[in-house]
């Protein structure tokens, strides 16, 4: 667990550095999902090979809320899909690391994402095709809670429930914010658990910053053979950087040099505490 906590902290530091270098991008969501992505890629729950990113039997990770791609890029770099120093090209002209992921541009990216609410439909199509072809790989879909305001997301929920896509695991970033404010003020999405259950999904809820609990939930989803599974991850947007946490204004804002310096100091101090607690 210490190694995984340290990895999540390193990913958060990279996110801050990337956003500072880019001068634009989203801060809150990527920081909030670092523990989830660390669990997926380093918690021994996904099958993948960075040296063979198109390996046919790999598990697929579909990022629906593509604007949080800094956390995906940083995680993929740490996993060995591409050179770590390429992270500093985020959002640069001609870079492989665009503001939303582009399929085929970068190893490890399964779909192009940008239009919110579309990712679960893509993931459900992957999962349905895998069932048809008797493939054993699993499909994971990371989606935001604000995407649950989109009608096409619920069409995909209905589709996956109808066809009992038990090889599909969705992970919801339940951070309660969107670019225009707090979700329950803009357009409420609760009762989220009951809604998924009504569409024939198995529902698990976890603290999105408890890596051990996240890994346990993902493994539990693999043992459910009758339904698709959704894991509602309750996260803190901007996690690890106190002045960013739980503030909608950091949804789509990048730090300036002074803010980045302060954020990195806080994260490095936290990293030291993590190491100290395990010594």
For the domain made up of 2-46+56-65+116-277, give the CATH fold: Rossmann fold (3.40.50)
Proportion of the chain above pLDDT 90, given as a percent: 95
DSSP-assigned letters across all residues of 193-217: HHHHHHTT-EEEEEETT-HHHHHHH
User: 185-217, pLDDT tens digit by residue?
Assistant: 999 999 999 999 999 999 999 999 999 999 999
Q: Is pLDDT of 279 > 80?
A: no
What's the mean pLDDT in 28-56? 98
What's the mean pLDDT in 80-88? 98
User: 244-265, pLDDT tens digit by residue?
Assistant: 999 999 999 999 999 999 999 9
The structural domains of the chain, with segments of one domain joined by +, span: 2-46+56-65+116-277
pLDDT score recorded for residue 114:
80
- Which of the four pLDDT bands, split at 50, 70 and 90, describes residue 115? confident
Q: Is pLDDT of 272 > 90?
A: no
pLDDT score recorded for residue 270:
84
Contact 120, 157 (CB under 8 A): yes
- Which of the four pLDDT bands, split at 50, 70 and 90, describes residue 64? very high
Contact 186, 154 (CB under 8 A): no
Q: How far apart are CA 140 and CA 123, in angstroms?
A: 7
pLDDT score recorded for residue 209:
98
pLDDT score recorded for residue 83:
97
Q: What is the mean pLDDT of the chain?
A: 96
The phi, psi pair for 132, rounded to 5°, reads -60, -35
Q: Is pLDDT of 98 > 80?
A: yes
């Amino acid at each position: 667990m210490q190694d995984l906590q340290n990895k999540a902290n390193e990913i958060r530091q990279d996110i801050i550095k990337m956003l500072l270098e880019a001068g634009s991008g989203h801060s809150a969501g990527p920081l909030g999902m670092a523990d989830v992505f660390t669990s997926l890629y380093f918690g021994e729950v996904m099958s993948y090979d960075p040296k063979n990113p198109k390996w046919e039997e790999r598990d697929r990770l579909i990022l629906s809320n593509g604007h949080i791609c800094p956390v995906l890029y940083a995680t993929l770099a740490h996993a060995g899909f591409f050179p770590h120093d390429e992270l500093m090209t985020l959002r640069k002209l001609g870079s492989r690391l665009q503001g939303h992921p582009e399929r085929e541009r970068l190893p490890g990216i399964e779909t192009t994402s940008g239009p919110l609410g579309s990712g679960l439909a893509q993931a459900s199509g992957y999962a349905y095709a895998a069932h048809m072809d008797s493939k054993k790989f699993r499909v994971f879909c990371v989606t935001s809670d604000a995407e649950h305001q989109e009608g096409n997301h619920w069409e995909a929920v209905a589709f996956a429930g109808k066809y009992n896509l038990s090889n599909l695991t969705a992970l919801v970033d339940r951070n309660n914010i969107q670019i225009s404010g707090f979700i329950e003020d803009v357009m409420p999405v609760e009762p989220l658990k009951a809604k998924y259950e009504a569409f024939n999904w198995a529902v698990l809820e976890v603290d999105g910053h408890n890596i051990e609990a996240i890994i346990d939930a993902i493994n539990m989803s693999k043992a459910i053979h009758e339904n698709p599974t959704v894991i509602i991850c309750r996260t803190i947007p901007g996690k690890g950087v106190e002045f960013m946490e739980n503030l909608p204004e950091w949804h789509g804002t990048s730090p300036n040099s002074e803010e980045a310096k302060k954020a990195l100091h806080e994260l490095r101090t936290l990293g030291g505490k993590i190491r100290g607690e395990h010594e």
